[in-house]
Structure 1
Amino acid sequence: MKNLLMDRTKAPVSVEIERPNLPSIDRISLTNDLEIHVLNQGKQDVVLFEMVIPVGRYQEPAPGNAYYLFKMITEGTSKHSSEEIASFFDFYGSHLEITPTLDHVSIKLFSLNRFFPKVLQMLMDMLIDSSFPQEEFEILKQIRVQQIKQQEAKNNVFASLKFRELLYGTDHPYGRRVTAEQAASTLLDEVIAFKGALLTKPVLFITGKVTDDELQAVRNSLTLPFTPPTARRSNRLHPGVSEQITKEGSTQASIRLGKISIDRHHPDIHQFKVANELLGGFFGSRLMKNIREEKGLTYGIHSSTLHLQNSSYWYIGSEVLQDKVELALSEIQKEMEKLKNEPPSSQEFGMVINYMKGKFLGSFDSPFSSHNMMKSLTLDGLTEGFFYTYFDTLQKMKAEDICVTMNKYLTGDPLTTLVVS
């Protein structure tokens, strides 16, 4: 009888990852001068409908107004209380997510196909018929104030917010932080005065088992009087200087250092992503090996590029013991200089390239994952070709290109540095 047991002393045969065929998005025109991006993928009778409404820090009259405005749509309409709205979505096995960001507000609706028309119509009613009850607003405000206080109490969260403030300046939409005092002092009348923003023309997406029935439901429901997005105001950068902040009772220090960076439209963005990955983008990176494994200064350290609609910035973040801050900063600088002057070995470079290929393919392992990837392209004004160019860069890039990229984009002015301890 043939032995069917796996020989675990031998590594499985590796296979070269080839250029993938990515899911494609159909763009379908609707009524009211709207267009919906359709990703028809999946066998289950479920869809994800998303409205991305371009209302964020650039458009809101005061910091935090967009958060309150869109969160209040779940708190009641002229016909339904907040409890009835919540019970309605629960009864139909649906889920509603409202996520305000710096650039827009995302409204995601997960629904079974057969109930999609009903729950979509309820969402439209909430947008056009919100009642803004005072009692519910006061409860929401209390929750928001406590959330902000909890964020400010955590060094790592506070450091990330403060670091962005240092990069852009307190007058810039990306640099402004919403304080607990601002959140507490917001009046319901201010939010109601901003309610016209609820009907700002959205960018629409639908993913899953999408049929003509779901598309017709969207056509029937989205007949609202949407208005064009408000033009973004021009804002100059007024960056701050590097800073060290001491907070009473802290045992660890949060480190952030970085700079304004190239965006996703830049021709070198893919090379920069590879260089960042090798430096601090994954668990096997140079920074993790040095700062965590060899020096034992932290549980984790990472580097990343955050892409906003109007700007991008690159940063390194970690939490270390207070008396190890200078050593950590010194070792970070050493690792950056090494990558500027000495290319990685073929083995190390091959490892990071294979990791990035696998991670990239994993980003499309489900319909909803694909939805998020393709949405990010649309909002940035990019096409599917961006991802194919990325994969081609992984195929063609050489180890010595790391040094060129590091010297091109991480040399010159000193990095903005923040230490919160």
Structure 2
Amino acid sequence: MSRTAEQIGRTELGPRPLPPLGEQRAATNLSVVDTVLDNGLRVIAVHQPTVPMVELRLRVPFAGTDPAHAPTAEVLAAAILTGTKSRDRVAMDTELALVGGELNAAVDPELLSLGGNALASGFDTLLTVLADALTAATYTDDEVAGEKARLIERITVARSKPNVIARQALQRHRYGDHPFTREIPEAADVAKVESADVRALHQAAVLPRGAVLVVVGDVEPVKAVAGVSAALADWRGDASAAVLPPLPPLTPGDLLVIDRPGAVQSQIRLSAQSITRTDPRYPALQLANLALGGFFSSRLVENIREDKGYTYHARSYPEFTPDGATLLIDTDTASDVTAAALLEIRYELARIALVAPEESEVDIVRQYAIGSLLTSTSSQGGLASQVAALAVLGLGVDWLVNHPERLKAVTAEQVAEAAAEFFAPTRFTGVIVGDVAKLAPLTCIGGVRFP
């Protein structure tokens, strides 16, 4: 006779105790080569033979101060894999498909990113197609026109979404017209981009010096670097890839209300200056942030979602740039409880800054931080993306491997100190996007500036 799960989980003395969690261990025996090629490209190759695949991540600093840069860069990223002097779009896709591979491209105000994967046996093909796109992309009129039409449609839809409107408002409030704020160009500006503009930008800005290429998979690192060096031998340039000018430090202050007439929800976005990953206080701050709003059982979620029912989600998280970092808090809530939700957010900020978290809470977020890091780097794709994200900040695989030990060494007192230093409500600024006509209760709690 079969037993139920409940019967299996019990004994005559009561519920069967769960076994203790095993020790979380980082991979400490990774074979890595981290070098800079003659053309200035940094290559990080990591041997991780879990499956016979190889993952590739290329990050090219791609900043521009000209307002026309952002729309042109969007078109470039959309069209860079649509054909070269020797391969049209179909030929590129077919060659990659024959080795179980793919490539894709994206751009933001900081970086042009190309990434993909293939069977390990097709690594040379993956590199050949990538090199062709980097050195010989043609950006024909027909392909550019087609990609522009698709971009215009996507941008038009994206810019109407509340979360995008809130992000743009926060960026303007934090940094004015700094190039970092130009995350989604206007559809009308994209429509003005010509093929010649894209080709000129590629020639001037798609450069290896200062860029980083990460290779992770079932290929020996020395062999991987040699393959990259041979395949990208013709990708050269005298200049270095363009990086963003430094961001100004955030100034704490009132939250700016942005009117969105007719909105049934408000988007609350808060931000404060933070520290980089290399700061010795960062591991403690990471754990303090997790306790506040960095995972589903955090204080913010328990308060304004589970207890009060003001929102479906609430989170706090860091945002890193090559020269600095910020903390962000965001949630969306019904218009009539916007003021109450903001009050609870400020309460949780003050509580974590003033009341030291208990050892048990610190242990929970520590286990979560270590476990999520190890899980995210257990696959070839996850490891490649993590290494690439760190590399653009000037860090390497060693930082990733050693970070679990740094987290283990953090004490509850250090978490309390980090929380007091970085999460005081007076350190934050931000925006609230919503229907001003429904947000009058915000005047009762102060620290809010209406248009």
Q: TM-score when scaled to structure 1?
A: 0.89
How much does 1:230 deviate?
4.0
For 1:280, the aligned partner's letter is G
**Inter-partner Cα distance in structure 2 for 1:31 and 1:388:** 28
Contact 1:166–1:239 (CA under 8 A) maintained in structure 2? no
Which letter maps to 2:90? E
Moved more, 181-190 or 331-340: 181-190
With over 3 angstroms needed to count, the CA separation of the structure-2 counterparts of 1:208 and 1:316, relative to structure 1, is: same
Question: CA 1:387/1:103 → structure 2, altered by over 3 Å: closer, same or farther?
Answer: same
1:67 aligns with 2:74: yes
- Deviation at 1:78? 2.8
The alpha carbon displacement at 1:58 in A equals: 5.8
Partner deviation per Cα, 1:241-291 (whole Å, 9 max, x = no partner): 732223344222111111232122222111111111100000010000000
8 Å contact 1:56–1:66 — kept in the other structure? no
SS in 1 for 2:172: helix
CA drift at 1:133: 1.3
State the secondary structure of the residue aligned to 1:98. strand
Of 57-66 and 346-355, the range deviating more from structure 2: 57-66
Equivalent position of 1:374 in the other structure:
387
Number of the residue aligned with 2:206? 198
Q: Give the one of 341, 347, 358 matched to 1:345.
A: 358
Partner of 1:155: 162
Partner SS state of residue 131, structure 1: coil
- Cα displacement (A) at 1:180: 2.2
Moved more, 204-213 or 50-59: 50-59
Q: Secondary structure at the match of 1:74?
A: coil
Give 1:174's aligned residue. 180
- 1:219 counterpart = 2:232: no
CA distance in 1, matches of 2:289, 2:319: 12
2:218 to 200, 209, 225: 209
In the alignment, structure 1 segments of 5+ residues that lack a partner are: none
| In structure 2, distance between residues paired with 1:130 and 1:358 | 42
Question: Does structure 2 retain, via aligned residues, the 8 Å contact 1:271–1:405?
Answer: yes
* Percent of aligned pairs sharing the same letter: 24
1:354 is matched with which residue: 367, 375, 394? 367
Equivalent position of 2:431 in the other structure: 418
How far did 1:80 drift? 3.1
Matched residue, 1:7:
9
Which AA in structure 2 matches 1:14?
P
TM-score by length of structure 2 reads 0.84
**Post-superposition CA distance 1:31-64 (Å, at most 9, x none):** 5454521111124322112322222346986223
Aligned to 1:164: 171
Aligned to 1:75, the other structure's residue is in SS state: coil
Structure 1 residues 49-95: Cα deviation after superposition (integer angstroms, max 9, x where no partner): 23222223469862232222233222222333323333332343211
Instruction: Report the more deviating stretch, 92-101 or 60-69.
Output: 60-69
Q: Are residue 20 (structure 1) and residue 26 (structure 2) matched?
A: yes
Structure 1 residue runs of 4+, over 6 Å off?
Answer: 238-241
> Is residue 194 of structure 2 the alignment partner of residue 184 of structure 1?
no
1:277 maps to: 290
- Structure 2 counterpart of 1:181, which letter? A
The letter of the residue matching 2:128 is: Q
The Cα of 1:386 is off from its aligned counterpart by 3.1
- CA apart distance, 1:135: 2.0
Alpha carbons 2:64, 2:242 under 8 Å: kept: no
Q: Residues 57 and 384 of structure 2 are in contact (CA less than 8 Å); yes or no, is this contact kept in structure 1?
A: no
**How much does 1:225 deviate?**
4.1
Which of 120, 123, 129 is matched with 2:127 structurally? Answer: 120
Q: Distance in 2 between matches of 1:104 and 1:324?
A: 38
**Residue 93, structure 1, aligned to residue 100, structure 2:** yes
The change in CA–CA distance for 1:238 and 1:189 in structure 2 (over 3 A counts) is farther
Q: Is the 8 A contact 2:81 2:104 kept in 1?
A: no
Letter aligned with residue 9 of structure 2: D
Q: 1:329 Cα deviation (Å)?
A: 0.3
- Cα distance in 2 for partners of 1:420, 1:204 equals 39
- 2:234 maps to a residue whose letter is L
Q: How far off its partner does 1:231 sit?
A: 5.1
- Distance (whole Å) between structure 2 residues aligned to residue 236 and residue 113 of structure 1: 40
How many aligned positions are there? Answer: 418
Give 1:229's aligned amino acid: S
SS at match of 1:307: strand
Equivalent position of 2:447 in the other structure:
none
Amino acid across the alignment from 1:174: F
Q: Which runs of 5+ in 2 are unaligned?
A: 435-451
Asked whether the 8 Å contact 1:113–1:214 carries over to 2, the reply is no
Could you say what secondary structure the match of 1:293 adopts?
helix
CA contact (8 A) 2:141 2:195 kept: yes
- Cα deviation, 1:283-325, whole Å, max 9, x if unaligned, reads 0100000000100001110000011223321111111101111
Q: Is the 8 A contact 2:61 2:243 kept in 1?
A: no
**Contact in 2 for aligned 1:103/1:309 (Cα 8 Å):** no
